[in-house]
Amino acid sequence: MSKTVRTRYAPSPTGYMHIGNAKAALNEYLLAKSQGGVFILRIEDTDQKREIPGAVEVIYDTLNILGISHDEGPDVGGPAGPYVQSQRKATGIYMDAALELIKKGAAYYCFCSKERLETLTRDGAHDILRYDRHCLSLTKEEINAKLAAGEPFVIRQLIPEGKTSFTDELFGEITVDNSELDDQILMKSDGFPTYNFANVVDDNAMGITHVVRGTEYLSSAPKYNLLYNAFGWDIPKYIHVPMICDEVTGKKYSKRLGAPSIQDLVAQGYLPEAIVNFIALLGWSPADNNEFFTMKELEEQFAVSGLSKSPSIVDMTKLRWMNAEYFKRMDPERFYSMSAAYLETFPFDKAKLAAMVQPRITFLSEIPELLDFLKALPDYDIALYENKKQKTDAAVSLKALEPAAELLAGISPEGWNNDALYAALQGLAAEMGMKNSQVLWPVRVALSGKAATPCGATELLELLGRDASLARLDDGIKRLS
């Protein structure tokens, strides 16, 4: 019988979550849900100096915004708690595990001072300060004496000779010569475990079966596996995914490069569902090349085989496009509800306004500027009437506007509707031997004072009403005369 898939997202509470952080959470979530598994949230606060007050609540809020719900975690509980590493430390789980490794000969005490460590030579090939195992030769009596005297210590992993191999679900089998690995610290002098050690201990205790993380951790995987083997624990399946890069610098997407938080993106007007969809497609391609997914569809279709081995770029132009597409595809009633606050100052049919702008916006905040001409005709240059595509200029426009205004003035308020108005102007164009666009374009410019509007000329006539429309057409004629 196969084991239930259990994955975890384990952020450190050191600030906000951006697209890269959210991608890490989404990968773990989708991997679990696509296989009917369990998704866990664990807070890794072993680096107390970097912790930012309120950051845990930001993590909860961000996951909630994106619809990434965890089955187990600090706020919802679960059978493998506690789910905060500082709370787990209080149980003694990390120190007990480290002492067990010492007994097994897989770790050792190190009492070296900071000053002595700074005298060690740096490994030029790997740019690391490699420990020289000075304390490995201490006798049991010497160790006990130092412990009794209260000398500060760390516990280091003892890397054995030979090679370590592991299989990554994306990159296949990878072998590393152990001589390239340093005797990393497992327990710090403050009694807290290091990130790497706590990961192994907690993943085992929580029954984690699959670990998705960045390719920057590929070199650390052998250290993890040596720890698992030393304890005699099952090793989870690894999936190392390439990093996500900033589109401007090409470097890893990060806070240091000014990456906005998910809350920032929502405040800017991006829809959470568009953000999730965009993030899902970073470094992952669905089998059918579809680009639009609900969360449920992502849960059903996500597969490791669709993950890319190449870095992906955070293309904000594509995110903007996707946001606009989500508005276009949105249920009209929902859009009307969302846009109501932006439409309330316009004295027109709000439902019609919503229908006009829905297919033409990227953000709701664009609505006021898109419709501002309805409140008052802006001052505009008659150069707007020149349109090479429609073959119009000032002279052609004046030729069309004068009879158009006269014709429209003869239409009663009761007959003032889009269909009747379009038929009338279409008939005028035919009578004058002009293209429809040569009449409709100058009418639209005269009504709006803009080169682009959220609807056509006759829709504007209907929306503005008979009196306001005729007044604006008269203004246009005066400008052109």
Read off the pLDDT of residues 35-82 as tens digits, 9 standing for 90 and up. Answer: 999 999 999 998 888 889 999 999 999 999 999 999 999 999 999 999
Structure tokens at 416: 């003032």
Residue 9's H or E segment, with its range, is strand 6-9
Check pLDDT > 50 for residue 343. yes
Q: Which alpha helices (DSSP H) does 212-292 contain, by range?
A: 221-231, 262-268, 272-280
Residue 175's H or E segment, with its range, is strand 172-177
- CA–CA separation, 81 vs 173, rounded Å? 33
- Are residues 405 and 392 in contact, defined by beta-carbon separation less than 8 angstroms? no
Residues 6+ apart with CB under 8 A from 344: 350
- What's the burial of 400, exposed, middle or buried (CB within 10 Å: 0-12/13-18/19+)? buried
| Confidence band, pLDDT 50/70/90 cuts, at residue 126 | low
Residue with tokens 């496009």: 321
pLDDT in tens, 438-462: 999 999 999 999 999 999 999 999 9
Torsion angles phi and psi, residue 164, rounded to 5? -125, 130
What is the Rg, in whole angstroms, of the alpha carbon atoms belonging to the chain? 33
Domains and CATH numbers, the chain: 1-72+242-329 (3.40.50.620), 330-365 (no CATH), 377-480 (1.10.10.350)
Please report the sign of the dihedral spanned by the C-alpha atoms of residue 88, residue 89, residue 92, residue 94. Answer: positive
Torsion angles phi and psi, residue 451, rounded to 5? -80, -20
- CA–CA separation, 39 vs 445, rounded Å? 56
- Are residues 298 and 275 in contact, defined by beta-carbon separation less than 8 angstroms? no
Scored b (16 or more CB within 10 A) or e, 405-439 reads bebbeebeeeebebebbbebbeebbeeeebeebbb
Mean pLDDT of 1-23: 91
Indicate which residue of 146, 255, 350, 450 is catalytic. 255
pLDDT in tens, 138-158: 999 999 999 999 999 999 999
What is the DSSP-derived secondary structure letter of residue 56?
A: H
Q: Which alpha helices (DSSP H) does 344-417 contain, by range?
A: 350-357, 367-375, 394-409
- CA–CA separation, 105 vs 143, rounded Å? 14
- Catalogue the long-range contacts made by 452-461 (C-beta closer than 8 Å, 24 or more residues apart): 453/373, 454/356, 454/357, 454/360, 454/370, 454/371, 455/356, 457/425, 458/418, 458/421, 458/422, 458/425, 459/356, 459/418, 461/408, 461/416, 461/418, 461/421
- CA–CA separation, 260 vs 269, rounded Å? 13
pLDDT in tens, 149-196: 999 999 999 999 999 999 999 999 999 999 989 999 999 999 999 989
Mean pLDDT of 304-333: 96
Residue with tokens 């052998």: 222
- Are residues 78 and 205 in contact, defined by beta-carbon separation less than 8 angstroms? no
Torsion angles phi and psi, residue 129, rounded to 5? -90, 100
pLDDT in tens, 400-439: 999 999 999 999 999 999 999 999 999 999 999 999 999 9
* Per-residue confidence (pLDDT) for residue 122, from 0 to 100: 65
Residues 6+ apart with CB under 8 A from 133: 183
Strands 237-241 and 210-214: parallel
* Per-residue confidence (pLDDT) for residue 128, from 0 to 100: 62
- Are residues 384 and 451 in contact, defined by beta-carbon separation less than 8 angstroms? yes
Residue 87 CA, chain-centre distance (Å), reads 29
Q: Rounded to whole angstroms, what are the CA distances from 363 to 178, 214, 217? A: 53, 32, 38
pLDDT in tens, 354-379: 999 999 999 999 999 999 999 999 99
* Per-residue confidence (pLDDT) for residue 48, from 0 to 100: 81
Asked about 237 being catalytic, the answer comes back as no
What is the DSSP-derived secondary structure letter of residue 77?
A: B
Residue 332 CA, chain-centre distance (Å), reads 26
Structure tokens at 2: 């196969």
Check pLDDT > 50 for residue 337. yes
